[in-house]
Each structure stands twice: as structure tokens, then as C-alpha cells.
Structure 1
């Protein structure tokens, strides 16, 4: 039976990797577990499995992640490494108890171990060049935002790769968990059980003479304040924040206790992103998925900050917005048209 469980789990992980899945969902229903894959922000059901088999598969994934296999009443998080064909992949697991007395789990498929160049990720070269230029700033705060599964962390790792290769600076990351290991930089993993939170970890990092700090996510007031303080004291800080668009990130920061003056002094840029199907060469018939970036910086950022302070809506020029870039890409044949409108596609 155990050999069967291991084969089923291995096949599930391989199927996820082969289909460019970002998250595997195993959720209990009334009579079975439903297995779904999230790919490029879309969730699709791929299988239903009996409770007995699902319970054993969940237990096996918890075993791989060094989680407490007997604990089913509390949420747990962990990560594990697993070989698929000739490559090693990293996976992050999150468990939640449900009212059905069974656990729901989500397994995040980590990106490949080697970070790709921002030019490989971006749909348009101008966006890639601008992000690289912004990443070479001496100090300040650069934020990535967008929905789950849109590739924010992948972009951050790409920018860190650029900084590490082009700049002679001390780079330290604080992540929950570390999504891609890089021996060239110092990476720290949040461990709440050991008392290492984002807030306590950032305080310790500031005493370690960093030039560049990457924070996995600004998720609370303490983390936001320490990130701002780091940016104010001569460090370049990268992080992600949850907001639908670049302008929305300013309001999210305000909700987390960051003042207008602090944003004005620290923010270098806010880049929201979405994944779209792009033709590598105009005229090709097979699309690959790449990132559109809506980048708020310079005068546009100043205008948006002033509008936010006055509580007046601010809209980016059409050419810089997601919808404008999308329409232009479709017009020149670089982006595959969606069945829905550009506005619906990029929400």
C-alpha cells in the first residue's frame, strides 16, 4: 500500500510540473477529495480520490515536509525537495483543518532552481530594461504586486540575480519559506516556532550590514514599518504586497500604517504584473506565458502618491496600463487574443 501511495504522490507532482502548475489543491468534499491545479491564475479540477487514499497521500506529503502527521486540528506549513526525472524540485505545503474533520492542503510548486533573466520573463523589452535600471538604485523600496500565481516571487528572484551579477553588494533575503535556493546570497527562512518572524528577522538583518534586502511579503504593520525604516537608512528593499494594481499598493501600504511622507521618501517603484500568452516571434503560432508589468515610478509615482493623499482616483496613461499594453500586443500580433475582453482578462 505504501508503495502505491508513493507512486500516486510522485505522479501527482510530476503531472503538476509538466503542466506548468503553480499550486496543487487537495480539498475534502462530502464523499471524496477533489484535486485541482492552478495554472496562470486559473484553477481547474483534475481528479477526485477516495478519502482513504487521499488521507494517506496527505500524510505522505506531511512526512516529506517534516510536519506533525498526527496533528490535524491546526494549520501547518512546511516544504520538501523531490526528484522528478533528472531534476530536483522544491515544494511548499500548507495544511488547514476543515469542518469535515479532514485536512485541506495546498502544495506550491517552486520555480526552477536557476533564476531566469528578467528579459526572459517580460513580455516587452522596455519593461525588462526599466526594472533592471530600477533594481540598480542605491536605496529605497521596490514593490511587486499582483494576484496569487502571477509570478511575483519569480520576478523578485530575477531582479536579485541581476543585482548579484552586476553589483558588488551584500544581499540578504527573508522568506516564508525560501522558494529558490541561491548559494551566492544569504537567505533566511521565517520560523515562527523558533521566534523568527518577519519583524524579528528584519531587525536582525539590519544589524548584518546588508546593502540589499528582499522580504518575501509585506503582510502586517510591523513588517511594513521595518521595511520602510530599512529603506530610509540607506538600504535597497525588495518585497511583494497584495493589491490588484500598482496604484492600489499605495492604499494597501497606507492601511498597514505607512504614512504619505514615508512613501514619498522611500518608494522607488511599484510594479504590478499579470501573466499573458505571448508569441516569442511575431508570426509564430505557439504562445508561451510571459509577464506584463504595470510600473509606477518617477513622475507618475509622484502623481499617484499626491492623488492618494488627496483621496482622488488616479489612472495610469493608457500606454502604461495593463489594458493598453495588452491591446497593443494583440494589435501587433505579439500577444495571443483572449476570449474575454482585455479588462476581464487582466483583472
Structure 2
């Protein structure tokens, strides 16, 4: 079973895939991979083989192989030859004794330098400058698979490499091992809520607090408080645009005054797959633009649509690619 799992995972890495989907079908099971944003078939498996593969993946990710009724998620790292595989395994129950598995390849962009992640290499340097702030909240937003975590962890890793500031992360689960960063993993079994955990982190004298993802009102409130107490906080959030991030935070019941005081930068990004390669493109609003919007004015900034138009004019996107992404990102 190890050989089958490694064969599927190595094939995914070799083809530049971001995810592997292992699902039940009427006549057995299917393995598919997501490459450049689109699904592609890999192979079919007999039902018995599929169940054994799922159990093996749950085992290496330190999940409960006897639990089939609730979703689980875990991470593991291992080598296939010289290839370092860093994966997150997530399960979703379907019926009794049946579940699907999705594997996220966490280091599939490891060979790219930080600036090579972006179409305009200066885009990374701009974000890196914001890591020099002594306090505030930086949010990386966008849909699943847009590279939010990749960018956030690259920035954290480069900042940590200087060894001049204490960085502590709170993650569920830990996705990337970063040198010189204290990484705390949320323990659901200990029933530890986010509030006490964040307050515990603050007692450990951090300069920068990295929080994996804002998922609810409680987390949002705690992170805003943390950013107002003299710490730089960076996190991710799901939203359609930079401005809609503020709308969603207001829906959580956050006051515009505390958002104006705390949020330093909101980045909303997408991952573009073009003939020239795959790139992250983003729009952003800074503290001044955030204040304008929250006070009823309309800030003037370059949207992702504007960035796509610039790429098209410069030859970075073909006519077909531009039309596709312009339509998709509406």
C-alpha cells in the first residue's frame, strides 16, 4: 500500500498538481489530481484497494483509522527518493464506512523563489516591507487554492531568518515547518478555545503572531485585539475581494473604529495559470484606503481585473486566457 500511495503522490508532484482527490464511484474508486486549476483523471481502483489506501493515508497523517463518522485532517512529511513530500490529508465521511480523501501538496511551489511566485516580482518586495511593521493586522484573502498560505509562510520564513524578532504561529494543523518560528498546533481533543490559546501566546513575548485562518467572529475579535496591543498579526481569510473582506468582518459584528485602527493591509489574490507559467496576482487596500471605505468613500486602487488587463497588454496573457480569467473573477 505504501508503494501505491507514493506512486500517486510522486506523480502529482511531478505534474505540478496542487491536490489529489480519492473518491468512491459506483464501480469502485477514482483517483484524480488538480493541475493548473483543472481536474484530471489518474486511475481507477477496486473498492477494497481504495479502502486500504484511505486507511494507509489516514495512518501516516496520524488520523484515527477507526473513525468514519466525522471529518479529520492531519499533516505528514516524508521523502520519496530525494523528493520531500509535505502533505495535508483531509477526510469527509459519506456513509457508514465510506469516506473520501483529499491530499493537499503543501510544498509544490518550493522550487520557486519568493519573487518568482508573482507575475511582477516587485509584488513580493512590497509585501515584505509590511513585515517590518511593529503592530497591525495583515490579511491575505481570496478563494481556496489562491496561494494565501504560501505567501504568508514565505514572508514569515524570510522575516524569521533574520532572527531579530520572535514569531509565534497558531495553526490547525501546522502546514509548513519554519526555522526560527515557534509553531503551536491547535489541539481539538484538549478542547482548548482560541481565546485562551492566543492569550497564552501573548505571554510568550512575540513580536509577530501568525494565525492560520480566521474562521469565525471569536478569532477575528481576538486577532484585532492582539494587533492593537503592540503586535504584528498576519492571517488568512476567505473573501471575494479586498473591499468585501471589510463587509464580512462587519458581518461578524466588528466595529469600523477598531478595524480602522488595527488593519494595516488587506491583500486579495488569485492564482493564474498561463502559457508563461503560474503566477499570483493580487489587489490590495492599505490603512488609508480602508479608512476611506469604512467612512463611506470609495478608495481608488488597482483591482485584480485591472492587473489582468495590464498583463494582457504586456503579453503575459493570451486573448483566450484573459477572457477566461476576466470572466471567472467577476
Establish whether TM, by shorter chain, passes 0.5: yes
Contiguous gaps of at least 5 residues in structure 1 = 279-285
Give the 5 Å matches for 1:51-70: 51-70=47-66
The yes-or-no answer on 1:323 pairing with 2:305 is yes
Q: What is the CA distance between 1:300 and its match in structure 2?
A: 2.3
Partner of 2:227: 231
2-structure distance, mates of 1:10, 1:82: 10
- Change in 2 beyond 3 A, CA 1:198/1:91: farther
2-structure distance, mates of 1:326, 1:27: 35
Partner of 1:102: 98
Q: Please tell me the root mean square deviation across aligned C-alpha atoms, in Å.
A: 2.2
Report how many aligned residue pairs link the two structures: 329
Partner of 2:288: 299
- Match of 1:149, SS? coil
Query: Pick from 261, 266, 278: which aligns with 1:270?
Result: 266
Partner of 1:283: none
Query: Pick from 195, 212, 217: which aligns with 2:213?
Result: 217
Q: What is the CA distance between 1:42 and its match in structure 2?
A: 3.0
Contiguous gaps of at least 5 residues in structure 2 = none
- Change in 2 beyond 3 A, CA 1:196/1:42: farther
- Match of 2:305, SS? helix
Partner of 2:165: 169
2-structure distance, mates of 1:126, 1:305: 28
Q: What is the CA distance between 1:40 and its match in structure 2?
A: 4.1
Partner of 1:151: 147
Give the 5 Å matches for 1:1-347: 5-99=1-95, 101-111=97-107, 117-166=113-162, 168-277=164-273, 287-307=276-296, 317=301, 320-339=302-321, 340-347=323-330
Q: What is the CA distance between 1:101 and its match in structure 2?
A: 4.3
Relative to the length of structure 2, the TM-score reads 0.92
2-structure distance, mates of 1:136, 1:147: 26
- Change in 2 beyond 3 A, CA 1:8/1:207: same
Deviations 1:201-237 (CA, angstroms, capped at 9, x unpaired): 2121111111100000010111111101100100000
Relative to the length of structure 1, the TM-score reads 0.87
Q: What is the CA distance between 1:128 and its match in structure 2?
A: 2.1
Q: What is the CA distance between 1:336 and its match in structure 2?
A: 4.5
